[in-house]
A and B are shown apart, each in its own frame.
Chain A
């Protein structure tokens, strides 16, 4: 470590090592096939990557569209300081989803086929187009940071002009994408546990994404305040958190309505899936709903952070329950992620964190975007 200009911290070195390991795993996967690095099988065609990297990854990228719509659709410009990091988190989240898909897809070199071969009957068709279009929208939304860094005034002015339209488009695509991930499982009514299968799956996925969006912004602000030694805008973050009980409340009401009309309350008191259901509903919905409704929680950094983690934990558990844990397994099949599946995910996330750190260091990430100025 004699280099004067580049001296990575221990944290950066660890992240770099994780990414390097994931790169080796990816090479093995491309050379020898998915079985070489995963426990995926014909009984479990989707595993940890789909549950975590795709379903949780997209849900946890929801901070971008929720914050952007607060600032540009509800015109609450005071939340502007939170916007750029939220968009970056969402953008990197989507890039990580795409990287994970390039590992998980059987034929990643054909991912572009979704552009030329259409099946509008397929939910996956909608998912594919949403990933593609919304990633592009996030890149455009984020581009203002680059324009500002290099002082490209005319591009910045153009960006300012189109941003409201871009945010509406992004919110629309996010609504479609978040809900369509739930709709994916509508095609498997006999395979998803009755506690989680519902014709309302797309609405559940959307509502939980709206709830987890501000929670991610809280966590991301909290961590970057610590790591980058900035002050946390507690007041502002706490105010944003007021949206969470609304979304969680709507989710809870719909869940009660759905289980009652489906007559499935009995399954909630059976076996380990019933226990998981209550863990998700009490720990991830009811408890944070109550906590975020308390002003004392919204005024404290640590309590905000803790309550946000509950929401995130609830959503992660829900996505796993729908797609993996509550999955009807064919006889004699079994799945637990291979350590290399986990290493792949860890490496992708580490890469995302490193890029976030680089952007925070070299680009004007924490200055409020131009929206604070009059748009007209």
Chain B
């Protein structure tokens, strides 16, 4: 296991370097720049700005300097929000996005797994159909529609929740529900499909014939095996949902980093784009590593370290 983790770390650092390089090239390839504006700036002003942010250095030098900075844990300044650093953006925004994400993942797991189990156990009966119709509507409706609807119904028509902004637990209800819709639907479908498959396996039949209670069979034997695809899905899900959703954060005026990311790209805020990309990549890799490790916890037969013999 230790060997596996070390090898993983090395390959992840290499991958990170590639991500930084690709993104660096990409941000400098797309047209525009952090100081582009509808009102054209005089040349001298533009030169001063480029001087200040070292944008007139050759690209390779900017790249090397940037890497040197990143190694020290400093993601540099934002180019558009001149007096703020990328680290500040993450420090302020990430806890907010992560809180919302955690709530949404919790909702998705509880509701999704419950719906999935009910549907699988009552396969092709009305409970199944109902659960799956709910799930289908859940993922047919993208988050911006769900968010707008929730706000319209529960903040505008029936005023039980605040419209937007962040601060009290009541502020978190509508956005986390909106954020949870899609993963809930996805998880319930995955659980249903896999449960049906698992319930046909021989060891479940054996357990049944041994006279074990249905409860034990479902939770101890079936669910444990049916959950594997959900765990796989959780890695990227947590990585993306914890780093914020642009749409939800915009609609509910939540000061997370999901919104920053998109705004950074439209602003061509090179520092912020790169910094947030690195942050996201590290987070994603860590989550995937945890997922892979948990495979062998759930299913001891899975061995990650052995190659194909």
Judge: A and B partners, yes or no.
no
Residues of A that sit less than 8 Å from B by CB? none
